[in-house]
Structure 1
């Protein structure tokens, strides 16, 4: 039986551990925290992410925990349109799902087939007895395959692709989910989702299910994400929330209401950045086995197109498919051949979106006037994924 070590228990790591275990691998899952925890915020899955879930056999029940988010255009802070609603070139709208619900689905997918080890902070990666191995300074874990799913600051990527580092984009982001019992009633005629952009700042929100309904997310409420220029804030969450309320005061729609209903414990602060340059290869042979870089460990990028989770799931679906074909080194070569050009295409679309989303004042307005559908086209192009072998 072939063995694998998966490092990191986020969306990509859990999906990879389950996929490998269901394919007959003996899997060890290493997590830095003392136990596997779900994120407290929500995540967007685009049509390509949903296709990847189907390829992994994990899409069953997704409708019961997710809510569609049809394109609704982008407002300026004063309520005027920056990008009016239009006909999106998508096969279906993206969906939003609470990370805890997605986490539960993945945990059910790994069952008891995966050896989960908490409190393991991987620091090293090398070849041991002709097989890849990782260690935390005390214990080494080896297998035929090591999957690096340990995030943008990946210790494994730093060892194997030292020239590729996570660089800040000069923005910070916050996410939160306001549960229904605290969520404000949206004004009549205001849709359950929206997007407001101005001065380099952005605030987007979406409802998880419907208030008082058993449908949609089982952990319903209103999810929001706010992005502002600058570095991560050092203040405690209560201080960060006070700053957000000040920065977004007077913005269009329910922005202020949502921030007023948010509590400090709801906040999740995230850096916004990119792996520069993209590693030369996302699959590295090591003896008779090798390493696969997936998700943010391989290709973290600014979340302008909200493709992070979907790309990680694409990685896993592709990795599962190529590994079914034979020797690990050859499979990793094929994995890189399929994934690296795809990631470069999405990075190109992300930069197009950034031209609008990170521009300020008159520059942003002029770009939107010249090409008002550029954001929609970039989002649609980023979803173009033909499946694990395309």
Structure 2
């Protein structure tokens, strides 16, 4: 096949694989180069909002993911002693934004995406660097240990520490520390039933969410100096910080082993890039617009990027024009939310909690306003644009086992 029809994707994460599937369906000869020895992701759960699910509809995966995931939304916001500040339900969220908010393990999403690609398309254990971004009169070139590859399009999905981003925009300052670290676990917690929740304390938050397979996805975040680590182990650190918070947090911590706990400092791109492309190279996901996880939109925006890019392969400037303003706005909102839920002043927290509780009592729908313009986004392509819709309808009501207040 001609090099102009060959696409190389650097990075086998969510954004990279979504781009690969979208390009493959569009007739491109796609090769995914992943540095890690396998596609098994380092991570835990991921929340997919209606915006990214509609993007997955374009590549025929939306209904499959809805079926594999738990519908999210039955629960709400709590204080450390357990008082509910607000409550939501999944049906209200789905009605407001035209589709559900769902939760699943990252590995499930990665496996579904990879299954839509020819087996020879994905090469793991391959470190790749950008040798030449190319231009209108020459292909891009990617260097590997086995030699160079030429392509009509290179998709850089190499994450928050993107080497391709640095090569394309060497004068850009890159990422900055967001001020907080995160912990995540996915574990079975037998005999524990609870409503999905996020709990805001002083400079700390905790979230607990049942997955459809019966496990629990829990995450925590706290203001800490960059690079700080527990003197013993991270489970002990979580017990010190959250062990006296409301149920089911103590039960989750009791069920977790030290090796179950993942910890990562959070970094984001504070100064937007001048563009998401150069030559024949396009950046997607964290490589383009790393953001704090406070809106749960990092992976969602990567999926949007991938699907929009597949529709602009002949004009990467149009891709930048479509994606840079939107992702910049979402990233800035995520930073604002981080400041809100990581507050430390007692007086400010009291005011914040009072406002949230009052808004919920007076007009519950107002609390969803912050997601407007994000979750209601629709891709430029029609759903199932590349083929017939799979069996079923993505507007169907959720199956009973997907309800988040049930834990097996």
Q: Same fold (TM over 0.5)?
A: yes
Of the three residues 133, 140, 147, the one matched with 2:148 is 140
Report the counterpart of residue 68 of structure 1 in structure 2: 71
Distance in 2, Cα, partners of 1:275 & 1:375: 27
Gaps of at least 5 residues in structure 2 are 361-365, 383-408
Shift of 1:40: 4.8
Report the counterpart of residue 342 of structure 1 in structure 2: 326
TM-score w.r.t. length of structure 1: 0.86
Is contact 2:199–2:206 with CA below 8 Å preserved after alignment?
yes
Worse overlay, 135-144 or 47-56: 135-144
In 2 relative to 1, CA 91–60 (structure 1 residues): closer, same or farther, beyond 3 Å?
Answer: closer
Of the three residues 162, 166, 172, the one matched with 2:181 is 172
Residues 1:380 and 2:372 aligned together: yes
Is contact 1:349–1:381 with CA below 8 Å preserved after alignment?
no
In 2 relative to 1, CA 138–155 (structure 1 residues): closer, same or farther, beyond 3 Å?
Answer: farther
2:97 counterpart SS class = coil
Distance in 2, Cα, partners of 1:119 & 1:358: 38
1:164-223 superposed Cα distances (whole Å, 9 cap, x missing partner): 4111101111111113xxx14225xx32x11111011111011112xxxxxxx4xx4111
RMSD: 2.4
Distance in 1, Cα, partners of 2:55 & 2:180: 29
Report the counterpart of residue 111 of structure 1 in structure 2: 118
Of the three residues 108, 112, 131, the one matched with 2:139 is 131
Distance in 2, Cα, partners of 1:363 & 1:204: 21
Distance in 2, Cα, partners of 1:355 & 1:10: 28
Distance in 2, Cα, partners of 1:318 & 1:113: 25
Is contact 1:45–1:310 with CA below 8 Å preserved after alignment?
yes
Report the counterpart of residue 201 of structure 1 in structure 2: 204
Shift of 1:307: 0.6
Is contact 1:147–1:294 with CA below 8 Å preserved after alignment?
yes
Residues 1:369 and 2:377 aligned together: no
Of the three residues 105, 108, 123, the one matched with 1:101 is 108
Q: Which structure has the higher relative contact order (CA within 8 Å, separation 6+)?
A: 2
Shift of 1:117: 2.5
Shift of 1:141: 2.7
Distance in 1, Cα, partners of 2:40 & 2:332: 33
1:290-342 superposed Cα distances (whole Å, 9 cap, x missing partner): 1111011111100110011111110011011223xxx3xxx211111111111
Shift of 1:37: 1.8
Distance in 2, Cα, partners of 1:127 & 1:90: 39
In 2 relative to 1, CA 233–388 (structure 1 residues): closer, same or farther, beyond 3 Å?
Answer: farther
